[in-house]
Amino acid sequence: MKKILIVEDELLLALLNRKIVESAGYTVAKSLTKGEDAIAYVKDNEIDLILMDIFLAGETDGVSAVEEIRKFSQTPVIFVSGNSDKSTRNRAESIIGASFMVKPVLPAALKNAVKEKIG
């Protein structure tokens, strides 16, 4: 079963994303709130996809966390962010293997995006 890491500091959105991906038949490996924790988790665990918010608790935003993760892993990423300003979006979309969705995300759209990334 495909494993997904959710990195989202808004608890309700993290729970909603978990429910959506689990209803589509995927397993949520872990749900984290900080970019630093996501980097460490991906270093130590094999996952199939990262659902990453951009503005997170902690020092490291989602884009910087994925830039760091790219140094050792090519795990696909879907950025899910409420901030769609041009510079933020450009930073996120410049990362190879990443796509970008603007919150709020409809459940069907999130399921389709996950399916496109990891089957």
pLDDT digits (tens, 9 = 90+) for 45-65: 999 999 999 999 999 999 999
Tokens 């069907």 belong to 108
Could you give the C-alpha distances from 76 to 11, 47, 116, in angstroms and in order?
A: 23, 9, 10
CATH 2.60.120.330 holds for 3-118:
no
Domain boundaries, the chain: 3-118
Tens digit of pLDDT for each residue in 88-111?
889 998 999 899 999 989 999 999
Could you give the C-alpha distances from 107 to 21, 43, 56, 114, in angstroms and in order?
A: 9, 29, 22, 11
In the prediction, which pLDDT does 29 show? 98
Task: Give Cβ neighbours of residue 89 (< 8 Å, ≥ 6 apart).
Answer: 100
How is residue 9 annotated by DSSP? S
pTM, 2 dp: 0.96
How is residue 104 annotated by DSSP? S
Do 47 and 66 touch, CB atoms closer than 8 A? no
Pick the range with the lowest mean pLDDT from 35-39, 40-44, 49-53, 93-97: 93-97
